[in-house]
Structure 1
Amino acid sequence: MSARTDRRLHFNLFLHDTGHHEASWRLPEADPHALLDLGYHQRLARIAEDAKFDSLFLADSPALFGDVGRRPQGSIEPTVLLAALAVTTSRIGLIATASTSYNEPFNLARRLSSVDWISGGRAGWNIVTTAGEAAARNFGLEDQPLHSDRYARASEFLEVATRLWDSWEDDAIVADKEGGVHALADKVHSIDHRGRYFRVDGPLNAPRSPQGYPLLVQAGSSEDGKEFAGRWAEAVFTAQPTVEEARSFYADVKRRAVGNGRDPEHVKILPGLVPVIADTEAEARELDAELDRLISPEYARRQLARTLRVDPESLAFDRPLPTDLPDEDDIEGSKSRYTLIVELARRENLTVRELIGRLGGGRGHRTFTGTPVQVADTIQEWFETGAADGFNIMPAVLPSGLEVFVAKVLPILRERGLFRTEYEGNTLREHYGLPRPANRRVLAGV
C-alpha cells in the first residue's frame, strides 16, 4: 500500500499503567506498581519522544473507579505528573485530563498555564465533564449533575479559562530596569465574568504562556460532546470501532467546526487504536488470547453492568445482551460509550462473554491483532479515507506493546511518507500543525 497524501499522521501515546488490556498487569513481566512509579512514566515518555510521537496523554478520574481487588487502582494526579515529565523530556507534548465538573476555572487555568511554562509550550488539556455518582459524592453532591448541565458548565468553564489566559497581552512584560517598569498595567486586564456557574474577576496571576494557552483536547462523542468539540476542541480523542463509524464521526465534527466559524483543519480527530502486534498473525492471536484468558469474568461482568445501568445477574455469560436495556436518553453517564458498546454487541450478535473479551482490550476502542504491515495498512486506510487525522495509540501491554509499535510499525509508515522522522517544531501546537491562538481581547480591540 503506497502513500497518496501530503498529510502526515499524528500520534498520541495514551499511558495507562501496565497497558490498556485489563489483564495486562497479570502477565509475568508486568509491574503492578508501575502506575505510581515516576521512573516508569519517564521511561515510556522518552521512548515516545525518541519515536517522535506528537504527544502523550494521562487520563484521570476524581473517584476510585472499578474494583481495587481486581486491577491496580490509584494514580498520581496528572498535572503534577506532567510537571515531572516536562523536565525529563524536551519535545513531546504533554496532555492531562481535568474535569470541568469538579474544578474551578481560575485554579485549573493557572495549573495548566504553569505546565505550559515549565515545559516550554508543550501542555495540553483533555477536557472532560465526568460522569458517575462516585465522583459527585466526593464533591458533596448526592448525584451526578445532568448530562446537559455538565456540558453547559463546561462551555462556561472554557469561556472563563480562555479569557483568563488572554488576560495578559503578549507584550505586557517589558522588564525595563532603567525605567523601573516590569509590566505595562494597561496590558493586564480583569475579566469580570458573571455567569450561571462562575463569578471570576481575574486577571490570571501569570503571564500568557508560550502557546497562548494549552492545546484543547476533548473526548466526548455524544451529541453534546460533538457540539462542544466543534466549538472548542483542537484535538478529539474518540472511540470508533469501525472505519465507517469513524468516517461519519470525522465528517460530523469537522462540519460542526465549520458551523462555529472555525477551520476544520484546526480540529484533529484521533480515534483510539489498541494494537496487538507480532511477526505473524498466529503469534499475535496467541498473545491476544493469552490476555483474554487472564480476564476475571465476574469482575468484567460487574463493570459491564455498571456501564449499562443493569443488574449483573441480568447479563448471562452465554447469551446476548438483554433486549430491555435503557435508551441512551435515559443515561446520565457516558452516553456515547454506552451506545458504542450496545451497538457493537447488537451488530455482531455477541454474547456477554464475547463482548467482555472485545471490551477487555480497549473498552470499545478499535482493537487490531496482526502483523506490523497489517497494522500499518489499517492506520493508512483510516487516515487516507476520511476517518482520522492520526491515532490515540493505546498499547494493550506496556512497555512491550509500545516498543513493538515503535520498532516495527513506525518504520513502515515512515517509508510510506506518512509519519515524521524528526520534530519540525518545539511546541505541542506546532507538532499538530495548529496556530498559536491570537489574544481575543486584543483582536476585539478592548
Structure 2
Amino acid sequence: MSRVTHLLLSAFAAVGLAGPLLAEDFQGSTHTLAYEDPPISYSAQKPNDRVAKLQAQIASGEVKLKWDDQFGWLPALLDALKVPKSSQMLVFSQTSLQRHAINPRNPRAIYYDEDVYVGYIPNAPMMEVSAVDPKLGGIFYSLDQERQDKPTFTRNQDCIQCHVSGRSLGVPGHFVRSLETDGSGDMISGTDTSEVDQCTPIADRWGGWYVTGQSGAQTHLGNLVGVTAFERHKTEPTLRDNLTELSQFIDPQKYLRPHSDIVALMVLEHQTHMHNYITRLNYETRIMMSMYGHIRYLKSQEDAFLRYLLFTEETPLTAPLVGDPQYVKDFLAEAKRDSKGRSLRDLDMKTRMFRYPCSYLIYSPAFDALPTVMRDHLLQRLYDILTGSDTNPQFAKIAASDRQAILEILRETKPNLPDYWRAKTAERASDPAITAPAKVASSAP
C-alpha cells in the first residue's frame, strides 16, 4: 500500500453513522465492479483528467509552477488548476499514511473545485492530488514537496484499494467519512460506519473536521477534539458550533485561509457522491452493453441516480447555514445562467442546499461522457419528470415550480440537449437497447 492509500477524501473524519441504506444508494447495489477488466480496464487506461493535462503542460514548458518558501507547490498548483483557496476545509483525523504529520494542531487542508481535489499538510513531504476523469472516475496522484524545475505528479494505483468500496459505490471515486477521534486525531475503532452525503442528517456530520460558519441551533459534530469533547457534546450539543475562527485549535498562519467552511463542506458532500453515481452508471452501462447489448437491467440504478440528481431525499435544513462569503462568490463564478439570471449553482442554504434542486454536475464532462444510450435515456426520463408526464411517486415531492424552473434553466444553459426539450411535446425514445423485450431474461444480474 502506498504512502497515500488513504489519500484525500477517504481520510475525512467523524462519528459513525448508522441506519439502513437510503433508496438513493442504487438499491444497495454498491458491490465493487470489475473495473480492471474490459471494457473498463481502469489501470491500463491513460487518464484524461485535469491533473494529467496540467502535467503535460508542465512537461512542455507551457506552464511553470512557482515554488513558495512556506507552502511549497500549493499556491501555484491551486492557481494552475483554478481551484479556489476559499474552498479550504480542515480535517484532523489520522487516516492518511502521512498520519504522523496530522493531528488536531496540524490538520490536513483540502481544496477543491468541480472535479479536482488537493490535499496539503503543513511540513508533510508530499501533497495529495486527485481528479475525476470523465470516463474512468477518480484518479489519484501525489506530488513531492521538493523544489524542482518541473514537478511531477505520480499516479498512485494503490490508492484504489481504499477508493473502491461500497462508500464510493463500488467504483474508483471520492467520499467523505464521519468518525470519532481521540485527542491526537487517531480514529476510534468502530465509530466509522458510513460515508456522508446530502442525505446525512446535519447532526451526524463533520466529526474529525474543523467547521467555521453559522448553523444556528442545528447541532453537528465538528470541532470536537477527543473523547471528553464528544461526551460533553451529548449534554451540550451546540458546544463548539457557530465558530467564526479556529485559533483556539490551530495556528491559522500555517494555512492559506483562516476558515474550514461549512458551505464548502455541504457542497463537497453532494459533489463527491454525485460523481460516484455518474461513474457507476458509466461503468455499468459499458458492462451491460458488452454483455447483453442493452441496459434494461439498470432500471433501479437509473431511478436512484435521478433521485440523487434531483435531491429528493436531501436532509432538510432547519436553520440557515452561513459560511465564508468568498467561497460563495467563487462557487457562483462558475454559474451558467439563463435569461432570467437563474443557475443550478444558486445556493439556498436556508431550507435546502440549492435554490433549484438539480445537480450542477449535469453540466460536467463526466455526465456528457456517459455512453450515449444511457445519457440519452436519462435526459428523456429527466424531461418526463420535469414536465410531469412521469408520475412515479418517487419524484412526487418535487414542487411544480421547481420542475418548471429547472426545465427552463436547462433549456437555455445546457448544450446539445435533444430537440424535444425545446418542443411543446416530446416523443419517447424507442432505442431497442432500452425498450425492447429482454432476449436473455434469465441472465439478469
Shorter-chain TM-score above 0.5 = no
TM bracket, shorter-chain basis? under 0.3
Is the strand fraction higher in 1 or 2? 1
TM-score normalised over the length of structure 1: 0.25
Q: Which has the higher contact order (CA 8 A, sep 6+)?
A: 1
TM-score normalised over the length of structure 2: 0.25
Is the helix fraction higher in 1 or 2? 1
